[in-house]
Structure 1
Amino acid sequence: MTQTASRIDVRAIAPRDRHPLIFSTFHALSAGQALELVNDHDPRPLYYQFNAQMPGQFAWDYLEAGPDLWRVAITRTQAGPAAESGSCCGGGCGG
């Protein structure tokens, strides 16, 4: 069973700060824990970033899919090397 450990509503966060916050929160999760992401649009580009950096280490489940509110549970399925690197995206997170 997935346990939601954190909820991040990015609508009130500056775009440049969003991805670093999301990735640092995800890295702090234990396997089986999830963060809930709340946004005003589909965060599909973030999914692709997770998939590129941490393939097989997360599950992505839409809890609500628009049109005005999007909620996604991002569950840590296993720990991996990305968790120890301390870098979310090499400084290229744009939001």
Structure 2
Amino acid sequence: MAVQPLPAPVDRTVLDLDEVLGDVQTGEAERAGCCGACACDEQEEDPVLDLRAISWGVRESAALAVFGSVPSGGSLIVIAPEDPVELLHQLGDEAHGELEVEYLQDTPGAWRLRVTRGFRLFS
């Protein structure tokens, strides 16, 4: 029986997010023209989730998974090809109604929103 070397450790968190979500970027990595549909010079520290880069069938579940990692009081920038009203309802349910939405851009094909999870003392 031959002994095989163990594979090198893999950072599963990063690997899994990359596999499932594809193009999730931080605001720092996206500073050159934000989503590319405008000429704003916004510099954000919040993570950016570009739903346009995710397959239609898994967009909502991917957004819920990413939003689930946002701490109380934290924000997520969501870029969607259309106004994501249904997704906002689902995120509101996930945040137990404690959700603040700020529309940053409403250009057709590139809706950009800041979604902030409210503070909760008890879940």
TM surpasses 0.5: yes
Matching residue's letter, 2:49: I
Structure-2 change in CA distance of 1:76 and 1:63 (3 Å) = same
Question: TM-score, with normalisation over the residues of structure 2?
Answer: 0.55
Deviation at 1:10, TM superposition (A): 0.9
Q: Which runs of 5+ in 2 are unaligned?
A: 1-43
Does structure 1 residue 46 correspond to structure 2 residue 87?
yes
Q: Which has the larger radius of gyration?
A: 2
Aligned to 2:46, what secondary structure does the other structure show? strand
Could you list the runs of 4 or more consecutive aligned residues of structure 1 that deviate by over 4 angstroms after TM superposition?
none
- 1:1-80 aligned at under 5 Å gives the runs 4-79=45-120
Matched-pair contact (CA < 8 Å) for 2:95–2:118: no
Identity, % of aligned pairs? Answer: 25
The secondary structure found in structure 2 opposite 1:25 is helix
Residues paired across the two proteins, number: 79
Q: 1 or 2 for the larger relative contact order (CA 8 Å, sep ≥6)?
A: 1
The one-letter code of the counterpart of 2:102 is D
